[in-house]
Amino acid sequence: MTMEFDLVPAGLARAIEELPLVDHHTHGAVARDLSRTAFEEMISESDRPVPGWTTPFDSQLGFAVLRHCAPVLGLDPFCAPEEYLARRARLGADEVNRLLLGAAGLGHLLVETGYRGEELLGPSGMAQACGAPADEVVRLESVAEQVAATGCAAGAFAGRFAEALGERTRTARGLKSVAAYRCGLDFDPAPPSRTEVAEAAGRWLDGGGGRLSDPVLVRHLIWEGLELGLPLQFHAGFGDPDLDLRRADPLLLRGLIELAEPTGVPLLLLHCYPYQRHAGFLAQAYPNVFFDVGLGVNYTGARSAALVAESLEVVPFAKLLYSSDAWGPAELHHLGSVLWRRAMARVLGGFVADGEWSVAQAVRVATMVGVENARRVYGLG
Amino acid sequence: MTMEFDLVPAGLARAIEELPLVDHHTHGAVARDLSRTAFEEMISESDRPVPGWTTPFDSQLGFAVLRHCAPVLGLDPFCAPEEYLARRARLGADEVNRLLLGAAGLGHLLVETGYRGEELLGPSGMAQACGAPADEVVRLESVAEQVAATGCAAGAFAGRFAEALGERTRTARGLKSVAAYRCGLDFDPAPPSRTEVAEAAGRWLDGGGGRLSDPVLVRHLIWEGLELGLPLQFHAGFGDPDLDLRRADPLLLRGLIELAEPTGVPLLLLHCYPYQRHAGFLAQAYPNVFFDVGLGVNYTGARSAALVAESLEVVPFAKLLYSSDAWGPAELHHLGSVLWRRAMARVLGGFVADGEWSVAQAVRVATMVGVENARRVYGLG
Amino acid sequence: MTMEFDLVPAGLARAIEELPLVDHHTHGAVARDLSRTAFEEMISESDRPVPGWTTPFDSQLGFAVLRHCAPVLGLDPFCAPEEYLARRARLGADEVNRLLLGAAGLGHLLVETGYRGEELLGPSGMAQACGAPADEVVRLESVAEQVAATGCAAGAFAGRFAEALGERTRTARGLKSVAAYRCGLDFDPAPPSRTEVAEAAGRWLDGGGGRLSDPVLVRHLIWEGLELGLPLQFHAGFGDPDLDLRRADPLLLRGLIELAEPTGVPLLLLHCYPYQRHAGFLAQAYPNVFFDVGLGVNYTGARSAALVAESLEVVPFAKLLYSSDAWGPAELHHLGSVLWRRAMARVLGGFVADGEWSVAQAVRVATMVGVENARRVYGLG
């Protein structure tokens, strides 16, 4: 992971390289071997195919895998996809995970387990593979869907959900809402009444439960989460085609942010691409708002410095965090770390080269964003 | 058109310079001599005047004309507008077109003929002037307006339009919709019923036809186009004041994209400025979406590398194309090519200089975006 | 304020450094000494606290104060906030203002007096401190609120307001609307009827007057302003949490811009962050639209060149202006000037280094944007 940038002061580059990053929103790595098809599906946010004359490797993320992960597996950078996949298969999933996760330089992980978590390493598996403590972030909608799956009367839903959430979060460090996917962020921000919740639960459970997308229930889950007091993460911006990007603009959360301000619960806006400037405005305006550019860093590869730069405009430096939002191949956990470090070195090194910041300021901000801010928000000690 | 960039590897710069670009969305060049006023009106998207103390040359596009076209006409770069226009007048339109179009380095042109096409060179004239094959792209709304102009009963409109479209597209390579101008992209995406179409046609024809802007008819044209199966272009983003830029955001096409997905018809989002990141998201999410940053490249001149860079973030590299959207002065056809090549050399050269891409990868992506992707989408062989 | 940039031609850097800037939208500097808390509140747009483990100095604006203002007060750049505030306190407000305002290099100021103007230096105080003429810009809503405060019957409001506005603007150079804060820019653009105005005034005055936010009255003020014929400024984009950023997008003003076009009154969109590209589109499309990136330059500090660059894309160069939007500490007036000059030198110097612009073109555009355009729009002679 050694970086060589002509314009970046050596002390800054080294300090950033050595940061024990807190990845405040990630998922598990897959523990099983992956076919070419399976691997390629996991380096795209789309569930649809690319044109037949190309492969998912023909993208910024694909190029970044070949550039930065190939050397970790003992290959030349920029090798062919076939060569990369053959080496990956020969080494086997355990060794690939050990190499890529071990070289990510993580100090702490917060692992969100709510999306197909049974196919992936859980927090303890990730802790072992990364050599760093890992705690859990619980997805609100998954808890509710599990309650529905066990059979539940409409009138009992609210109580059963509260109980299940209390149980599931006994050792968790945070909560997550995927309202952006389920109903869009333009929902009515006020907490729904007991009657509204019971009615909506009735409609949902009568329909057999399953994917929870009723805005009344989505809001109820959020307000139950706020009650609990754990930091609450929101998916915002870029994601899979399931999402209407227009309705994933974090500015749509303004009403909820203002209503939730008295609770003192930190709200963490995840990813936000291409709305990172909107997120910066919110983080500047409201004391309870924090954000990251997680997923977008991996997906923009050689362009990720542009996102990181845009995230460092109006935000107070204590309000920005690091995440990878990796899910599945350990390449994504590794790249999140490598690309973020390279982007921060370029952007902050540029401020220094321009005569605008001192090296000491740059090191301090990198440490805040990569490590300290998350430790404070989540109370990681 | 020789480029000299300190940071761009010579092999990459040369490869990009020599690409036989496919301009997948352009219009004809004017064949007649132009007065100063006429020329200046054609280097602005606005139909309104600039302040009296300035001229349309005081813009990125104006500066780019003086920088890149003046040498082609035998003048120093950065000459005065008066000098440029005098030389242009002395050479005459034919010679100006021969020089500027001949030096654009085009391999194939798709010429959209639906906007004041009678004032411009048609596909065969453009082919001759550019020394490259040229095919036609047919504007849906123009075909419908021609049907109305010949006299047509409301009940016969749908049939007459289908017939005319079939006739007009016998040798065409693509279709174009200007829904963004006519009713905004936030139209109901579903195909309208026969009754709705007949009623809307009645209202329109009773009013004397003319400019077609009824959303029901605009949608009908789009669905007739999808039926036909030719690649379908949509104006999106930047254009003239006729357009509400908020309603030209390509994200508004999400509903139509999903409904049209089963047809397999490629949808090509044109220009998209300043929404190029939104277009990249759509191209990543949906197999039937492609896009370019055409018109914006000319209009942002010295800043066009920024647009090109933003277009290369989350898009699969097989989903991005080149276009000039030139209309009128051959300067626009020439600049589209020159500015795109310079921007690609700077952006991809930057990825190489940063150690993120190999030269071979950069050459391959430039070739895909400039030539191959369009050849495949339009079946140009 | 000497700038040293390797890539910027010396002649361009010097020309930009020596421009007698017209700050076409600023406020007064505070004349009294400021406590640490008071100072820190004034270098944030938020009225809420930052996390307890940090201070408002941990931001781009805070870093810019330490980098660029500390040397003006005789300290090393990048000193500690405590050291800076101690020196500031020792020098006293008068001397601090003399040093920072005197070194801003201003040629003319337009001072908006409508927000807590009584706590600040007025136009004549600013003229003296800056050594340059200063004229007033009158905030429409403040005039209306003063009319209400003196007691006014609903039916008399329109007349009383017109009278007060005429009185207050006898020597003013411009008007300002804060519709973005009061009702959002998505208001009905048409002038309200006399009856509507009287009814809305009745509701407002019956409620005791105070903060005017009724959209009917906000529109009435705007149309009265247009009638008067003075250039009319609109806050757009970035501001304090009072504002819904989604409803501060300048594209929302399209309807008003078109209705106001026949009046010939220049409309000046202020700040616009992060919507500077939207503002550029409007300035390109409509002859009556001008804009700046004022407030955003200070708040993005080391990143301000990115904003300036984005503002120079499709705008005709005669349509862009300079402002600081400084309010309170003289640091903001000083930084507005220093950061804008550095940003322009970097951006235009980059165009020259790229071989896209000549030095003469760059000097000319910097002079237009920094000085000439405002002189012409406001008739400053």
Angle ∠(A106,A109,A114) on CA atoms, nearest 5: 145
Q: Any bridge partners for residue C176, and if so which?
A: C139, C233
- Secondary structure element (H or E) that encloses residue C32, with its range: none
Q: Do A355 and C274 touch (CB under 8 A)?
A: no
Give the least confident one: A334-348, B42-56, B166-180, C318-332: B42-56
Is the confidence at residue C4, as pLDDT, over 70? no
CA A277 to chain centre: 18
Task: Report the pLDDT averaged over residues C65-85.
Answer: 98
pLDDT for residue A123: 97
Q: Do B355 and A4 touch (CB under 8 A)?
A: yes
Is the confidence at residue A171, as pLDDT, over 50? yes
At B10-45, the pLDDT tens digits run: 899 999 999 999 999 999 999 999 999 999 999 998
Is residue B64 within 8 Å of C356, Cβ to Cβ?
yes
Q: Angle between the A215-228 and A157-168 helix axes, to the nearest 10 degrees?
A: 50
Which of C235, C232, C224 is CA-nearest to residue C180?
Answer: C235
Whole-number Cα distances in Å, B363 to A53, B7, B321, B370? 17, 15, 15, 10
At residue C5 the predicted structure's pLDDT band, cuts being 50, 70 and 90, is low
Whole-number Cα distances in Å, B206 to B148, B157, B179, B198? 10, 12, 21, 12
At B64-78, the pLDDT tens digits run: 999 999 999 999 999
Between C312 and A117, residue with greater pLDDT: C312
Is the confidence at residue B260, as pLDDT, over 90? yes
Q: Any bridge partners for residue A110, and if so which?
A: A135
Q: Do C241 and A316 touch (CB under 8 A)?
A: no
> Which residues contact residue A56 at a Cβ distance below 8 angstroms, ignoring those fewer than 6 apart?
A40, A41, A43, A44, A50, A62, B316
Q: Is C380 on the interface with B (CB under 8 A)?
A: no
Report the C-alpha gap between B252 and B246 in whole angstroms.
10
Task: Report the pLDDT averaged over residues C180-197.
Answer: 97
pLDDT for residue C229: 97
Is the confidence at residue B2, as pLDDT, over 80? no
pLDDT for residue C303: 98
Q: Is C259 on the interface with A (CB under 8 A)?
A: no
Please classify residue C326 by burial: count the beta carbons closer than 10 Å to its beta carbon, then call 0-12 exposed, 13-18 middle and 19+ buried. buried
At C199-211, the pLDDT tens digits run: 999 999 999 999 9
Which of B332, B297, B346 is CA-nearest to residue B4?
Answer: B346
Q: Is C306 on the interface with A (CB under 8 A)?
A: yes
pLDDT for residue C1: 40
pLDDT for residue B149: 96
Between C9 and A173, residue with greater pLDDT: A173
Residue B314 is nearest to which of A4, A299, A346, comparing CB atoms? A299
pLDDT for residue A116: 86
At C130-171, the pLDDT tens digits run: 999 999 999 999 999 999 999 999 999 999 999 999 999 999
pLDDT for residue C343: 98
Q: Is A346 on the interface with C (CB under 8 A)?
A: no
Residue of C nearest to B47 (CA): C285
What type of residue is C192? Answer: P
| Matching residue, tokens 């799956």 | A149
Query: Considering chain A, what percentage of its residues have pLDDT values greater than 70?
Result: 98
Which of A223, A279, A286 is CA-nearest to residue A258?
Answer: A286
Is the confidence at residue A5, as pLDDT, over 90? no
| Matching residue, tokens 């599945």 | A328
Mean residue pLDDT of chain A comes to 96
Report the C-alpha gap between C238 and C300 in whole angstroms.
11
Report the C-alpha gap between A11 and B322 in whole angstroms.
42
At residue C6 the predicted structure's pLDDT band, cuts being 50, 70 and 90, is low
Task: Report the pLDDT averaged over residues C55-63.
Answer: 96
Is the confidence at residue B324, as pLDDT, over 90? yes
Which of A175, A263, A230 is CA-nearest to residue A377?
Answer: A230
Angle ∠(B277,C306,C288) on CA atoms, nearest 5: 85
Whole-number Cα distances in Å, A268 to A83, A126, A294, B238? 39, 22, 11, 34
Mutate one of B7, B288, B357 to test the A interface: name it (highest A CB count within 10 A). B357
Which of A54, C59, C354 is CA-nearest to residue B373?
Answer: A54
Which residues of A fall within a CB distance of 8 Å from C338? none
H-only helix segments in chain C: 10-17, 36-42, 60-64, 81-91, 93-102, 123-130, 140-149, 157-168, 179-182, 194-206, 215-228, 254-260, 276-285, 294-300, 304-311, 330-353, 359-367, 373-378
pLDDT for residue A381: 80
DSSP E strand boundaries for A47-201: 106-112, 134-139, 174-177
Which residues of B fall within a CB distance of 8 Å from C315? 59
Phi, psi of A328 (to 5 degrees): 100, -110
Residue C241 is nearest to which of A249, A285, A319, comparing CB atoms? A285
Is the confidence at residue B343, as pLDDT, over 80? yes
Whole-number Cα distances in Å, A219 to A166, A191, A222, A289, C273? 18, 6, 5, 18, 31
pLDDT for residue B46: 86
DSSP class of residue A156 equals G
Which residues of C fall within a CB distance of 8 Å from A310? 303, 306
Q: Angle between the B304-311 and B276-285 helix axes, to the nearest 10 degrees?
A: 20
pTM: 0.97
Is the confidence at residue C348, as pLDDT, over 50? yes
Q: Is B287 on the interface with A (CB under 8 A)?
A: yes
pLDDT for residue C2: 45
Which residues of B fall within a CB distance of 8 Å from C317? 54, 58-59
Mean residue pLDDT of chain C comes to 96
Is the confidence at residue B115, as pLDDT, over 90? no
At B135-175, the pLDDT tens digits run: 999 999 999 999 999 999 999 999 999 999 999 999 999 99
Is the confidence at residue A252, as pLDDT, over 80? yes
Is residue B19 within 8 Å of B368, Cβ to Cβ?
no
Mean residue pLDDT of chain B comes to 96
Report the C-alpha gap between B294 and B271 in whole angstroms.
5
Largest CA distance in chain C: 65
pLDDT for residue B5: 62
Q: Do C357 and B45 touch (CB under 8 A)?
A: no
